[in-house]
């Protein structure tokens, strides 16, 4: 009986012990399971956050591509449909030369020009939307193609990936204490310096703000370029054969787009990071080569998008550009930091933030974990429907050619009326042409009157054996000149060659100029005609011009003649007679209108000199296309017709 009781107690204690052990094991497994689940949850959140950042980057890429397309179309119109051509400009308007096919736009050339200027606008939106994480526009291959419906599609893709890390602090394992080689030879040899002309960060380049993802060493062309550390050459481009140039309009020329804007370049993969050496003149290594610290890999040049000889040097960690000067001691006197965006304190602060490992802090405990195995890479691309009909440039070219042909033989005082009439007549429901297209800017009317007179003088071509230019001031169309009376004073120089003309009531610099019209004549009778030269004298005189309603109502020329008497000529028509002297010099004189019309004189017998070509500006509103632009006041996109600006030499 007692044995049975003992056995029962033993079974009881064993059962209780088992329950306690089971409860303990269950508790341990539950806690462990919760920890594992928590850890997996955090990993999922990290991946989700990185994926979300990647998708946001792609969304911003599409948005930037769309908005920059609008800006580039407006910019193309403002450039007259031409971008990097050497066609000249007038008052900021691109000159269309009807004798040169490359100097007026067509649908195809305007589209090509659009593709060239588009990256400059793209960078602005990358900066606005992406805190500089998106690849620079120069890394993109940008082109257009037509879809099945025949609509234009703007496409951009890049081999450059965005490295997106999970949230948290990022640290780098770059050991700068071992010492890296400088990427370029010193200016002036061993005792020279390293001149940094542009640092890492935001900057203004040719009026366009972008994010500079490297540093520029402004060293002469041909200066040796070195690998900063041991590594393997990962990529080489050496196909650029000429340096980049910027044209008179401030546009990049064709050569600047070589090598996706980088020009000749070398990418080297090191143990912990990657370096890029761009805009090279010559490359002396090839892909796959093993290089050692300080080995020459090329020479400084100005290929790709470059405004002068320099080395563009980049430092990349996990495919992300970071401050390149972190490899060196920026406090060293070897460095001359001349760039507007250069600041030693900012550089050192940036270097303290460079990372290679990702970390995060658990929300349920104070435990800090470091996990560096996960990085999400995104290759940005965009595909934007381009709802714009570039054939407007074909139609406008035909209209501009008609204006040119219809008005090129018009007399000087008839040109402007001809241009106005033709611009109005050729305007239709697709294109509205405005002449003149002048910017609203304040100016002295006195200076404009003087400019009008000087333009008549300068436009009258030189004579070989005598000729005249006849301009009726009353036919001229005046722009921006107020009604009033304007007096121009002419004073001959003592050297018997020319003189000075100035607007009497104006003291600014542009109200004074030189003139050759110091001779006045009213006699070219038979005796003087037989001698081959008219009678003329040098005088100090005043030309008074009366303006009313954007027109010259009348004009008079007043002087004291050789007899000491005051003479007053009707100068509503300015008649300039030109004749070469014995020594080959040209005499320019103003002829009395009555003498010019008199049968007793021979001024008209020698024929017209003709007038030089002159530049005229036009604005053509493209009524078939509407493009949006963000309006700061209304805080929304406002649609408008692009205005194509151009100038014609007629």
pLDDT 10s digits, 30-82: 555 555 444 445 455 555 666 666 677 787 788 888 888 998 999 899 889 98
What are the pLDDT digits (tens) for 292-312?
999 999 999 988 888 888 999
pLDDT at 366: 35
Report which of residues 647 and 320 the model is more confident about. 647
* Residue 34: count of CB within 10 angstroms of its CB: 11
Domain count, the chain: 3
- Range with the poorest average pLDDT among 114-123, 363-372, 621-630: 363-372
Q: Please report, rounded to a whole number, the percentage of residues in the chain having pLDDT higher than 70.
A: 78
With 80 as the cut, is the pLDDT of residue 100 above it? yes
Q: What is the pLDDT of residue 180?
A: 87
**Is the pLDDT score of 367 beyond 50?**
no
Which of 291, 322, 356 finishes a domain? Answer: 356
Higher-confidence residue of 257 and 278: namely 278
In this predicted structure, the answer to whether residue 369 has a pLDDT above a threshold of 70 is: no
Is 80 exceeded by the pLDDT of residue 612? yes
Do 522 and 374 fall within a single domain?
no
Distances (CA, A) of 89 to 92, 279, 622: 6, 29, 21
Range name among 127-136, 393-402, 469-478 with the lowest pLDDT average: 127-136
Domain match, 185 and 293 both: yes
Task: Kindly state whether residues 466 and 348 are assigned to the same domain.
Answer: no
Please indicate, yes or no, whether residues 139 and 192 belong to a single structural domain of this protein.
Answer: no
Q: What is the CA radius of gyration of the chain?
A: 38
Give the number of other CB atoms < 10 A from CB of residue 209: 12
- Retrieve residue 413's tokens: 């005082």
What pLDDT is stored for residue 441 in this prediction?
A: 52
Averaged pLDDT for residues 397-409 = 94
Contact 536, 519 (CB under 8 A): yes
* Distances in whole angstroms, Cα of residue 563 to Cα of each of 538, 559, 560, 566: 13, 11, 8, 9
Look at the chain and count its residues. Answer: 650
pLDDT of residue 408: 92
Alpha helices in 522-605 (DSSP H): 526-531, 593-597
258 and 334 share a domain?
A: yes
Give strand pairing partners of 157: 141, 381
Q: What is the mean pLDDT of residues 388-414?
A: 94
For residue 18, being part of any structural domain is answered with: yes
Residue 558 has a pLDDT of 96
Question: pLDDT band at residue 262, thresholds of 50, 70 and 90?
Answer: confident
pLDDT of 478 strictly over 90: no
Kindly tell me if the per-residue pLDDT of 358 is higher than 60: no
- Residue 20: pLDDT band (50, 70, 90) is low
3-state helix, strand, coil in the chain (%, to 5): 30, 35, 35
Tell whether 182 is covered by a domain. Answer: yes
Give pLDDT, residue 285. 94
The answer to whether residue 624 is domain-embedded is no
DSSP code per residue over 189-247: GGG-BEEEEE-SEEEEETTEEEEE-SEEE---TT-EEE-SSSEEEEEEE----S---B-
Residue 14 in this model has a pLDDT that exceeds 70: no
CATH number of the domain within which 327 lies: 2.70.70.10
Nearest Cα residue to 185 out of 219, 228, 233 = 219
The verdict on residue 622 lying in a domain is: no
* Mean pLDDT of the 532-543 span: 92
Range picked from 19-23, 391-395, 609-613 for highest mean pLDDT: 391-395
In a domain, 425, yes or no: no
pLDDT given at position 153:
92
In a domain, 157, yes or no: no
Nearest residue to 378 via CA among 157, 138, 73, 641: 157
209 shares a domain with 294: yes
Identify the band that residue 464 occupies on the pLDDT scale cut at 50, 70 and 90: confident
The predicted-structure confidence for 544-595, as pLDDT tens digits, reads as follows: 999 998 899 999 999 999 899 999 999 999 999 998 877 777 889 999 999 9
Which helix (H) or strand (E) element contains residue 157?
strand 152-158
Residue range(s) defining the domain that contains residue 272: 171-356
The answer on pLDDT for 107 being more than 90 is yes
Supply the pTM of this predicted model. Answer: 0.65
| 362 and 489, same domain (yes or no) | no
Element (H, E) at 434: strand 431-434
% of the chain residues with pLDDT over 90: 37
Residue 390 has pLDDT above 60, yes or no: yes
Query: What tokens appear for 93 in the block?
Result: 């308007």
pLDDT band at 357, cuts 50/70/90?
very low
User: Does the residue 87 lie in any domain?
Assistant: yes
629, pLDDT greater than 60: yes
Same domain, 176 and 72: no
Q: Give the model's pLDDT for residue 4.
A: 57
5 with 49, same domain? Answer: yes
Residue 470's pLDDT band, with cuts at 50, 70 and 90, is very high
Residues 329 and 370 placed together within one structural domain of the fold: no
Task: Mark whether 270 and 201 lie in a shared domain.
Answer: yes
Cβ pair 152, 385 in contact under 8 A: yes
Closest CA to 224 of 183, 274, 196, 278: 183
Q: Give the per-residue pLDDT at 249.
A: 58
Supply the DSSP symbol for 551.
E
Q: What is the pLDDT of residue 370?
A: 37
Cα 519 to Cα 43, 101, 492, 516, 587: the distances in Å are: 93, 44, 9, 8, 8
Q: Which of the two residues, 356 and 173, has the higher pLDDT score?
A: 173
Residue among 641, 126, 19, 618 nearest 392 (CA): 641
pLDDT at 412 over 80: yes
pLDDT of 201-239, one tens digit each?
Answer: 776 554 555 677 888 888 889 999 999 999 999 989 888
Checking if the pLDDT of 373 tops 60, the result is: no
Which of 17-31, 413-427, 466-480 bottoms out in mean pLDDT, i.e. has the lowest? 17-31
Q: Are residues 113 and 141 in the same domain?
A: yes
The mean predicted confidence, pLDDT, of the chain is 81
């Amino acid at each position: 009986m007692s044995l049975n009781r003992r056995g029962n107690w033993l079974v009881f204690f064993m059962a209780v012990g088992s329950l306690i052990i089971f409860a303990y094991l269950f508790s341990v497994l539950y806690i462990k399971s919760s920890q594992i689940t928590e850890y997996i949850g955090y990993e999922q959140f990290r991946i989700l956050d990185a994926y979300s950042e990647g998708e946001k980057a792609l969304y911003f890429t599409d948005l930037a591509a769309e908005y920059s397309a609008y800006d580039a179309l407006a910019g193309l119109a403002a450039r007259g449909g031409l971008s990097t051509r050497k066609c000249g400009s007038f008052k900021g308007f691109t000159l269309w030369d009807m004798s040169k096919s490359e100097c007026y736009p067509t649908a195809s050339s305007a589209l090509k020009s659009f593709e060239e200027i588009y990256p400059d606008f793209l960078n602005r939106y990358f900066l606005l939307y992406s805190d500089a994480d998106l690849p620079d526009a120069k890394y993109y291959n940008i082109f257009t193609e037509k879809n099945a419906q025949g609509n234009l599609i703007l496409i951009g893709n890049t081999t450059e990936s965005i490295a997106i890390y999970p949230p948290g602090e990022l640290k780098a394992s770059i050991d700068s204490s071992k010492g890296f080689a400088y990427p370029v030879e010193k200016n002036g040899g061993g005792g020279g310096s390293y001149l940094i002309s542009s640092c890492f960060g935001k900057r203004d380049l040719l009026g366009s703000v972008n994010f500079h993802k490297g540093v520029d060493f402004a060293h002469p062309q041909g200066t040796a370029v070195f690998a900063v550390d041991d590594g393997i050459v990962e990529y080489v481009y050496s196909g650029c054969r000429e340096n980049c140039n910027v044209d008179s309009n401030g546009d990049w020329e064709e050569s600047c787009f070589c090598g996706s804007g980088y020009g000749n370049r070398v990418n080297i993969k090191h143990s912990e990071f990657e370096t890029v050496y761009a805009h090279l003149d010559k490359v002396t290594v090839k892909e796959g080569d093993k290089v050692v610290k300080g080995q020459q890999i090329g020479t400084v040049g100005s290929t790709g998008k470059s405004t002068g000889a320099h080395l563009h040097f980049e430092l990349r960690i996990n495919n992300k550009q970071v401050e390149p000067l972190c490899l060196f001691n920026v406090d060293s006197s070897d460095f001359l930091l001349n760039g507007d965006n250069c600041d030693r304190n900012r550089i050192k602060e940036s270097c303290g933030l460079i990372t290679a490992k990702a970390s995060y802090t658990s929300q349920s405990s104070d435990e800090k974990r470091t996990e560096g195995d996960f990085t999400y890479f995104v290759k940005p691309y965009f595909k934007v429907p381009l709802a714009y009909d570039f054939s407007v440039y074909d139609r406008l070219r035909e209209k501009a050619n008609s204006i040119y042909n219809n008005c090129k033989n018009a007399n000087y005082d008839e040109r402007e009326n001809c241009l106005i009439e033709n611009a109005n007549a050729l305007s239709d429901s697709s294109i509205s042409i405005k002449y003149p297209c002048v910017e609203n800017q304040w100016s002295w009317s006195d200076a404009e009157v003087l400019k009008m007179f000087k333009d008549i003088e300068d436009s009258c071509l030189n004579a070989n054996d005598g000729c005249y230019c006849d301009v009726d001031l009353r036919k001229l169309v005046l722009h921006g000149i107020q009604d009033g009376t304007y007096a121009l004073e002419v004073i001959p120089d003592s050297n018997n060659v020319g003189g000075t003309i100035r607007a009497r009531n104006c003291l600014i610099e542009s109200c004074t100029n030189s003139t050759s019209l110091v001779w006045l004549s009213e006699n070219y009778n038979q005796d003087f005609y037989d001698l081959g030269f008219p009678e003329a004298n040098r005088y100090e005189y005043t030309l008074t011009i009366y303006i009313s309603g954007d027109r010259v109502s009348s004009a008079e020329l007043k002087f004291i003649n050789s007899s000491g008497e005051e003479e007053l000529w009707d100068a509503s028509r300015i008649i300039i007679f030109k004749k070469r002297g014995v020594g080959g010099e040209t005499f320019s004189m103003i002829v009395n209108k009555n003498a010019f019309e008199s049968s007793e004189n021979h001024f008209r017998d020698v024929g017209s000199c003709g007038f030089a070509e002159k530049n005229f500006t036009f604005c053509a509103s493209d009524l078939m296309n509407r493009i949006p632009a963000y309006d700061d006041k209304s805080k929304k996109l406002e649609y408008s017709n692009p205005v194509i600006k151009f100038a014609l030499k007629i």
